Amino acid sequence: MKEINILDKTFRELITEQEINSRIDEIAKQINSDLAGHDVVFLGILNGAFLFAADLYRRIKLESRISFIKLASYEGTSSSGSIRELIGWNEDIRNKTVVVVEDIVDTGNTLERVFGELVIRKASGIKIATMLYKPDAYKKDIFLDYVGFRIPNDFVVGYGLDYDGFGRNLPSVYALIK
Ligand code: XMP
Ligand code: MG
């Protein structure tokens, strides 16, 4: 069992680099076939999705574009809790089929926020591609079209995901040892 330390925590390998690569092959093949003839824009959600987006997109054969947005979370000055603004839009997605590319879908809050914005901006179709999915944590009903791996409700790092900013460069996915 491969174990690593990041800062004060220990993690154990959950998904290997080879497993990730062959799963992305399958997902790309599926997207290439499902979305043939569509006007497609891939939309990566930074920071976590940058590796998955790159690895997926290099396997895409559709004439398409890719763009990235980021969620800026900050506490509101009023008592309404955290406000999450989507920044970095530079792509007109009106009448396009948008493939949202996420590193992980956990509670689904992020996804719901992005999905709502795509509806407002009048995307003609919305597909969701996520490398990881925590079914036990997911609280929304947005359908996840392309899921790399369903994982237990444990904190994970690697392959774009971080612990306090570290671990994004790990080529496989590691789960926190409790
Ligand atoms: P929600 O709950 O909005 O979460 O679906 C999505 C975002 O939260 C981050 N996230 C994680 N990051 N290990 C991480 O490094 C995890 O286990 C984890 N779970 C959620 C991530 O940024 C994701 O986009
Ligand atoms: Mg993320």
Summarize pLDDT for 28-72 with one digit per residue, the tens.
Answer: 999 999 999 999 999 999 999 999 999 999 999 999 999 999 998
Nearest CA to ligand 1 atom 12: 161
Phi then psi dihedrals of residue 48, to 5 deg = -55, -30
8, 39, 103, 106: the active-site residue: 106
Instruction: Report the Cα 15 to chain-centroid distance in Å.
Output: 16
Task: Using only the alpha carbons of the chain, give its radius of gyration.
Answer: 16
Q: Is 106 a catalytic residue?
A: yes
pTM score: 0.94
Output the pLDDT for position 72: 81
